[in-house]
Amino acid sequence: MAKTNELLGSLYIETLIVGILVVVQQSWLIFLELFSRRASFQHINNCLFFVNLFSSVAILVAVSWLIWLLHKRLKLPLCQIIKISQIWGKGEIKARINYSSSDEIGYLVEVLNRMAAEIELNQQKILLRNQQLENLMATLSHDMRTPLLAARNALRALLQGAYGPVNETWKEIFQEFYQDNQNILQLVETLLDISRYEANGQKNFSYEPLNWKNIFEQATVRIQSITEYNGEIKYHIAPSLPMVYGEELGIQRVIQNLLDNAVRVSKPHQPIKLMVVSSGVEQIQVSIEDSGPGISPLEKERIFYRFIQGQSRQGRCGLGLYLCRQIIEAHGGKINVDTNLGHGSKFWFTLPIGSHELMLK
């Protein structure tokens, strides 16, 4: 080591030489040259590297574990809630969310399952009440039909003079009674038909090849006999139609109801178009087109439901189109309407092509 009384000497800091102090007299420049202790610094850097690496791995593991925990506690039950909610939206209210926990999501699942159970219970009560009401309607309709038929025959005989001459005043009164009797009898027969189709579907069908010419002619004659429509009913039957099996009386009832609606809303002396054509390779389509005021979009969505009356059908029971839907769906077909306000409506239904055995499957 150099002596401390020399101009150029060693600088000691805690007995460790870290540099050399140099004094230059001309410019009084003092500088400190640091010695390199690379070995010590390299050791410290290595230690810091491994500490940082271990800390990073520990943080990554902790974050991964937290993500997995959040996935288990949040995403999985939420996905199940969404899945079951979609099932509920399809009307299958018996499904339940299979999740149990004491946290907020567990409480939410418990509330949703309890709501679903209450809805299911209410649906069962409604179905039971509807069934009881339908049974009551069917029973009353059956019991009312016989006296109504007897009253109709008696009124008809009175109007025809079977019991002696009738003056014009009483004839008008009897005519009103006869028309009211016809309306009530038609309602009773509609209720009986609805009960039969809802209870049995295809079970009691008497399938036979449908004769469209005979169906159209009979429906047209009946409509013209019970209404005062003075317009023309045009019908078209496409040539070489494939064979369709069904209950002819039921299909004739559908066409009669649709024609009755068309006659009530059509303009005077405007023709009503009735046609049957092939629709694709597996079905035929029957349509009835009128010149009435059309149907609003809101009314169109509900028109084939029970007890729904359109604006142009006020005063009626709202069961005719519902019965048409029951009959067509029991035949495996579909019924709908194309309409524009102010431009008339086109009611149509489809029936599948196939043999009697295929229809029963």
Q: How far is CA 328 from its chain centroid? A: 19
Highest mean pLDDT among 197-201, 219-223, 291-295, 332-336: 332-336
Please count the other Cβ atoms lying within 10 Å of the Cβ belonging to residue 21.
Answer: 13
Residue 260, pLDDT score: 87
CATH superfamily of this structure's domain 208-360: Histidine kinase-like ATPase, C-terminal domain (3.30.565.10)
Q: What is the pLDDT of residues 21-37, one digit of tens each?
A: 444 444 444 444 444 45
Indicate whether 18 pLDDT > 80: no
Band of the pLDDT at 15, cuts 50, 70, 90? very low
Please state, in angstroms and rounded to a whole number, the distance separating the CA atoms of residues 199 and 223.
28
**Helices 248-265 and 212-226: angle between axes, nearest 10 degrees:** 40
Q: What is the mean pLDDT of the chain?
A: 78
**Global pTM value:** 0.59
Residue 308 Cα distances to 139, 199, 250, 311, angstroms: 23, 21, 21, 10
Q: What does the pLDDT look like over 294-317, one tens digit per residue?
A: 888 888 888 888 766 665 555 456
Confidence of residue 349 (pLDDT cuts 50, 70, 90): very high
pLDDT at 318 over 60: yes
Round to whole Å and give the CA distance between 210 and 252. Answer: 10
Report the range of poorest mean pLDDT among 4-8, 80-84, 234-238, 262-266. Answer: 4-8
Check residues 137 and 345 and name the one with the higher pLDDT.
345
Domain residue ranges of the chain, discontinuous segments joined by +: 124-200, 208-360
Reported as a single tens digit per residue, the pLDDT across 171-201 is 888 888 888 888 788 788 877 777 777 766 5
Q: Is 342 exposed, middle or buried (0-12, 13-18, 19+ CB in 10 A)?
A: exposed
Whether the Cβ atoms of residue 193 and residue 231 lie closer than 8 Å to each other: no
Give the range with max mean pLDDT: 14-18, 98-102, 115-119.
115-119
